[in-house]
Chains A and B, each alone.
Chain A
Amino acid sequence: METSNPTRRAVLGTAAALTAFSTAASRAARSEQPPASVSPPSQALIRVNGKQLTLELEPRTTLLDALREQTDLHGTKKGCDQGACGACTVHIDGKRVLSCLTLAVRCVGKEITTIEGLADGDTLHPMQAAFLAHDGMQCGYCTPGQIMSAVALVKEGHTQSDAEIAEWMSGNICRCGAYPNIVAAIREVVGPDGKRG
């Protein structure tokens, strides 16, 4: 059931509560004891860019770390690991999601798309081509997340004006400051009336 899936925040929250409880219960005993054992990694099948990948997942492993450490899909970036910068944006079942706040085990049975899954062979996705044409990047580190957000944004329909595009792209930080070029790239993809795309 969707609502019963544990988010990373909930898991961390539970851990914090348990720590607080054990501290109150027996501080001395805790420091003597070996740490509570964590669930060992187990194999899980995760579908990424149309392919089934077999990953070794601990319950606490985020989708971001699973992708970056266990696959060659390093295009999804770790900028803050706290859900504040957008560099790790991927699509889960077509919606933009922060992979650093998503537990990988939660993704079993879902369709994940990363930046590597956007192009059709050597043919760039129109959004990738537009970012290239408008130089919507400098260092390139936030770029995969920006593009994944931009593709989702078009689907969401938040493209009526440049101001609306800028507002709905504000979850993706670009420290190099390519923002005007990013808006121009999205504008090119959706056309002047924001309908195309």
Chain B
Amino acid sequence: MIVGQSIERLDGRLKVTGRARYAAEFKPPNMAHAVLVQSTVAAGTVAGIDTTAAKAMPGVLQIMTSANAEKLNLKGASVLQPLLQGNEIFHNGQHVAIVIATTLQQAQAAAARVRVRYNPAEAVTMMEAALNQASVPRNFSNGRAEPDSRTGDPDAAMTSAAVRVEATYTTPIEHHNPMEPHATIASWDGDRLTVWTATQGISGAQLTLASLFGVPKENVTVICPFVGGGFGCKGTNWPPATLTAMAAREVNRPVKLEVTRQQMFTSNGYRARTIQKLKLAANKDGKLLAIQHDGLAQTSMPEVGEFAEAVGLASRMLYACPNIGTSHRVVAINQGLPTYMRAPGEASGMFALESAMDELAVRLAIDPLKLRLANYANADATSGKPFSSKGLRECYEKGAAAFGWQRRTQAPGSMRDGRVLIGVGMATATYPTNRSPASAQIRMMPDGTAVVRSGTQDIGTGTYTTMAQIAADVLGLPLERVRVELGDSRLPPAPGSGGSMTTASVLPAVQSAAIQLRDKLFVLALARPPAAWGTAAKSDLRLENGVVQGPGAQVSFIDLVTREAVSFVEAAADVNPDAASKDHSSHAFGAQFAEVRVDPDLRTVKVSRWVGAFDCGRVISPKTARSQLIGGIVFGIGMALMEETRVDAETGRTVNANIADYLVPVNADVPEIETIFVEAPDLVTTGLGVKGIGELPMVGVAAAIANAVWHATGVRIRDLPIRLDKLLV
């Protein structure tokens, strides 16, 4: 079995030698370069754009504005005005022109000479200024959940409870900042479009572009063999990809557009600012009687679209509690459209819930871990459905043991190392197990190698590796004889790489295709069996090491394919999620344990130790899975202590739109991290037993750190990020 073995990622060699090719690194002949010009006001209209000086610059081919841009088919499009289709401005940083020149330097220089005049209107740039305008989301959670929920009577239970905690938690705007900025190369051949683009969803990009340009889906080819990180901001076909295709059509040659790091702050979504009210009620033993979680999140003006941060979903299912209420409201302001960012909903929502649980533990004077165990749920508290699998208790136990949680003393400031304050904190992690329809195809080639093909993406999560593993096991091939093709819309379709569902969606399709290919190889072998096989049937055969092994003799795959005189033997599978999964509540779980060291005078916080134990179902590739767990925790450390996009209230402009002032964790910020796999396979939801890994490990990180900071200092921070100025009280 290669599944479950710790192997080097199959695309690793290409990555360490610099040969992995990302979207901006393809070179169609005669390619021109494009640079975006962005709005400097947050609301109003474009009064006019003077392109005279810019157009006269050397090498400039064309400058597109809403005055001369082609009209797109906007029926069904979710993002409207930023595609140069009108003069209205809805946020600072909206794209208002695109400059196309022969070289990148020429395009950059000319873009700086484009003069835009505005008729500015009064903008609402901060959600706090428009809270009275909060509204019910129109399309909450893509229709898979209701914005409000109510089980039992939370209000009544609050009134009569012995102990109550009530607090407001806020989380800031955060930006994904993958290391690879968005980039697209577009090339038209008549009404056929090829785009190389940095995307988490080639299928979605293909559909969106085909619809906008009014061409059949088959006319659009999207290619993306490597993605330099996404974290959600490459999940949607954002305006720059479309604008590049418009530019390429306009100048009738291939065009490349690399969004700059500064423009990444206004071109492709962000994690919305949230204001969350949390109320918990419990009896004296810590048994939860009521949870009320009300979330407000910012969104863009409706003309641009809507995104509702689903902060309360985890509160509906995580703890055993008879009375639970949740609500979600959005506040539309003059900012760009928010989007999914690693663990959307849960990352922000569980900061609030798991901070509030810690506050409740303090109020009750019980150990925070014991409080979680006292409210351990065996079924989803809102839907009432049983969990398809749940290894959370083991996560708590193994994580606590590895961390040495029992050495914690209860009182804040009671643990020290010399003068340095030590704090320890914990929090629960949870993220839903998602799965979508997916298809795959496997070809046995005449040289005895298998080519596994699916139109999925590898965003660094190890998809190349896991697809090869599962096929190799079924086909009895060593890994070096399996090749994976993905990241091309001409391959069998697969879902976008988001919602931690790639493994759960794509691997069952690969497995099913592999089983069918195995059957085909059996049939081919039995059509002209070696004499020694006699009357052997399929059940007497097995695949191993590139041969069909039967009683006393074998036939190699190479012989099987070559004697058929075909280019390859192929099997394909199209797999849908099992209906049985609808009867269950399906989630991955985890327990986070943090130690922080706080300087008693300067109040600097350093995360000094981490243990995370995760039930992410069956683990296919332990090495890459562990990397995802570590990476999620690091992402969470950024959320807890550093990350915040600052907006100037007057202009709606992002003040720290660069990766020096928008702080993300660097190597020296990260402690020793111990990760523990608690494998509770989810056979109901995914068949293979896998759950998602990508988002789970960052859930609860911010709360665990906030709880540890309280334990070190006695100061409760309810507003992320936890900066030293908030601790100097």
Contact residues on A (Cβ < 8 Å of other chain), bracket: 35 or more
Pairwise interchain contact B667-A137, C-beta atoms closer than 8 A:
no
Instruction: State which of A31, A75, A181, A182 has its C-beta within 8 Å of the C-beta of B19.
Output: A75
- Do A174 and B13 have beta carbons less than 8 Å apart? no
Determine the residue in chain B with the shortest Cβ distance to A143. Answer: B15
Whether A79 contacts B25 in the complex (CB less than 8 A), given A119-B17, A182-B667, comes out as no
CA distance in complex: A166, B668 (Å): 5
Q: Is the pair A179, B17 in contact by a Cβ cutoff of 8 Å?
A: no
Query: Scoring B residues 626 to 666 as 1 if CB is less than 8 Å from chain A, else 0, what string do you get?
Result: 11101111110000000000000000000000111000111
Selected from A79, A140, A171, the residue in CB contact (under 8 A) with B20 is A140
Instruction: List residues of chain A with CB within 8 A of the CB of B12.
Output: 131-132, 135, 137, 140
Are B16 and A147 in contact (CB-based, < 8 A)? Answer: yes
Contact B627 A181 (CB under 8 A): yes
Q: Is the CB of B57 within 8 A of A179?
A: no
- Cross-chain contact B16 with A132 (CB below 8 angstroms): yes
Contact A175 B660 (CB under 8 A): no
B180 touches A139 (CB 8 A): yes
Q: Is B667 a contact of A169 with CB atoms below 8 Å?
A: yes
- With contacts A74-B18, A85-B659, A137-B15 taken as known, whether A177 is within 8 angstroms of B633 at the C-beta atoms is yes
Residues of A within 8 A of B669 (CB): 170
Residue of A at shortest CB range from B665? A177
A175 in contact with B17 (CB, 8 Å): no
Contact with B along A107-119 (1 / 0, CB 8 A): 0000000111011
- Taking the nearest CB of chain B, how far is it from the CB of A186, in angstroms? 10
The interface residues of chain B lying within 8 Å CB-to-CB of A131 are 12, 16
Complex CA–CA separation, A34 to B58 (angstroms):
10
B576 within 8 A of A: no
Using Cβ atoms and an 8 Å threshold, which residues of chain B touch A65?
Answer: 104-105
Contact A138 B666 (CB under 8 A): no
B634 touches A82 (CB 8 A): no
Q: Is chain B's binding surface mostly helix, strand, loop or mixed?
A: loop
Contact of B178 among A76, A141, A181, A183 (CB under 8 A): A141
Interface string of A154-177 (1 = CB under 8 A from B): 000000000101110111111111
Instruction: State which residues 19-54 of A face B: CB under 8 Å.
Output: 31, 34-35, 37-38, 40
**B634 CB → nearest A CB, Å:** 3
A:69-114 near B, CB below 8 Å: 69, 73-82, 84-85, 87, 114
B421 to chain A, nearest CB (A): 20
- Residue on A nearest B632 in the bound complex, by CB: A177
Is B228 within 8 A of A141, CB to CB? yes
Q: Using Cβ atoms and an 8 Å threshold, which residues of chain A touch B67?
A: none
Which of B15, B177, B624, B672 counts the most chain A CB atoms within 10 A?
B15
- Chain B hits for A31, CB < 8 A: 53, 115
A177 near B634 (CB under 8 angstroms)?
A: yes
CB neighbours of B227 from chain A (8 A): 139
A-B contact number at CB 8 A: 200
Q: Which of B21, B258, B461 contacts A138 (CB 8 A)?
A: B461
Interface status of A180 (Cβ within 8 A of chain B) = yes
Q: Are B177 and A177 in contact (CB under 8 A)?
A: no
B459 at the binding interface (Cβ < 8 Å): yes
Which B residues are CB-close (under 8 A) to A60?
A: 105, 109
Chain A residues near B670 (CB-CB < 8 A): 166, 177, 179-180
Cβ A38 vs Cβ B109 within 8 A: yes
Residue of A nearest to B227 (CB): A139
Q: Is the CB of B229 within 8 A of A176?
A: yes
- Which residues on the A side are within 8 Å of B673 (C-beta)? 180
Q: Which of B1-35 contact A (CB under 8 A)?
A: 8-9, 11-22, 24-25
Q: B13 contacts A132, CB within 8 Å?
A: yes
Binary B-proximity of A127-157 (CB < 8 A = 1, otherwise 0): 0110111010111111110010000000000
Binary interface encoding of chain B residues 49-72 relative to chain A, with 1 for a CB under 8 A from any of its CBs, else 0: 000010011100000000000000
Give the docked Cα–Cα distance between A73 and B103 (Å): 18
Q: A73-B18, A140-B226, A140-B460 known; A84 and B113 CB under 8 Å?
A: no
Number of B interface residues in the complex (CB < 8 A): 68
Task: Tell me which of A61, A116, A166, A171 contacts B17 (CB under 8 A).
Answer: A116
Give the residues in chain B near A144, CB-CB below 8 Å.
16, 18
Q: Chain A residues with Cβ under 8 A from B129's Cβ?
A: none
A171 surroundings in chain B (CB, below 8 A): 666
For residue A190, CB closer than 8 A to chain B, the reply is no
Q: Is B179 an interface residue (CB 8 A)?
A: yes
Question: Do B260 and A139 touch (CB < 8 A)?
Answer: no
CB-CB nearest in chain B for A176: B631
Taking the complex as formed, is A55 at the interface, i.e. its CB lies under 8 A from any CB of chain B? no
Q: Is the CB of B623 within 8 A of A135?
A: yes
Of the candidates A69, A73, A118, A173, the one whose C-beta lies within 8 Å of that of B666 is A173
Contact A178 B630, CB 8 Å, known A141-B22, A166-B670: yes
Question: Does B231 sit at the interface, judged by CB under 8 A?
Answer: yes
Q: Does A17 contact B (CB under 8 A)?
A: no
Cα of A133 to Cα of B53 in the assembled complex, Å? 54
User: Does B181 touch A at the CB level, under 8 Å?
Assistant: yes
Q: Which residues of B contact A118 (CB under 8 A)?
A: 17
Residue of A nearest to B662 (CB): A84
Interface centre among B9, B178, B258, B460, by most A CB within 10 Å? B460
Chain A residues lying within 8 Å of B664, measured Cβ to Cβ, are 173, 175
Inter-chain contacts of A173 with B (CB < 8 A): 179, 659, 664, 666
From the candidates A61, A132, A176, name the one contacting B460 in the complex (CB within 8 A): A176
Contact with A along B664-682 (1 / 0, CB 8 A): 1111111011000000000
Chain A nearest CB, measured from B504 CB (Å): 19
Task: Using A141-B228, A170-B667 as known contacts, say yes or no to A80 and B658 having CB atoms under 8 A apart.
Answer: yes
Question: In the complex, what's the smallest C-beta–C-beta distance from A15 to chain B, in angstroms?
Answer: 10
**In this assembly, does B385 line the interface, its C-beta being within 8 Å of a C-beta of chain A?**
no
Q: Which residues of A contact B666 (CB under 8 A)?
A: 170-173, 179
Contacts of A132 in B (CB 8 A): 8-9, 12-13, 16
| Residues B179 and A87 in contact, CB atoms below 8 Å apart | yes
Minimum CB–CB distance from B486 to chain A (whole Å) comes to 14
Q: Which residues of B contact A11 (CB under 8 A)?
A: none
Bound-state Cα–Cα, A132 to B665, Å: 22
B261 in contact (CB, < 8 A): yes
A80 to B265, CA, bound (A): 12
Q: Mark B127-159, 1 if CB is under 8 A from A, else 0.
A: 000000000000000000000000000000000
Residues 67-89 (chain B) with a chain A CB within 8 angstroms = none
Residues in B neighbouring A138, C-beta threshold 8 A: 229, 460-462, 624, 627-628, 631
A133/B8 contact (C-beta < 8 A), A139-B229, A177-B630, A177-B670 known: yes
Give Cα A24 to B425, complex, Å: 58
Residues on B with beta carbons closer than 8 Å to the beta carbon of A188? none
Q: Which of A118, A144, A171 has the most CB of B within 10 A?
A: A144
Can you identify 25 A-B contacts, CB atoms within 8 angstroms?
A35-B57, A37-B58, A73-B18, A74-B24, A79-B181, A81-B260, A114-B18, A132-B13, A135-B623, A135-B626, A137-B15, A140-B11, A140-B14, A140-B15, A140-B20, A140-B226, A141-B180, A166-B667, A167-B668, A173-B666, A175-B635, A176-B229, A177-B631, A177-B670, A179-B665
- Beyond A35-B57, A139-B227, 8 additional contacts (C-beta under 8 Å) are A58-B103, A77-B180, A82-B261, A132-B12, A132-B16, A140-B11, A147-B16, A163-B668
Question: Which 3 pairs between the two chains have the least Cβ-Cβ distance?
Answer: A75-B18, A177-B634, A141-B228
**B residues bordering A, Cβ < 8 Å?**
8-9, 11-22, 24-25, 53, 56-58, 103-105, 109, 113, 115, 176-181, 226-231, 258, 260-261, 459-462, 623-624, 626-628, 630-635, 658-660, 664-670, 672-673
- Give A residues with C-beta under 8 Å from B: 31, 34-35, 37-38, 40, 58, 60-61, 65, 68-69, 73-82, 84-85, 87, 114-116, 118-119, 124, 128-129, 131-133, 135, 137-144, 147, 163, 165-167, 169-183
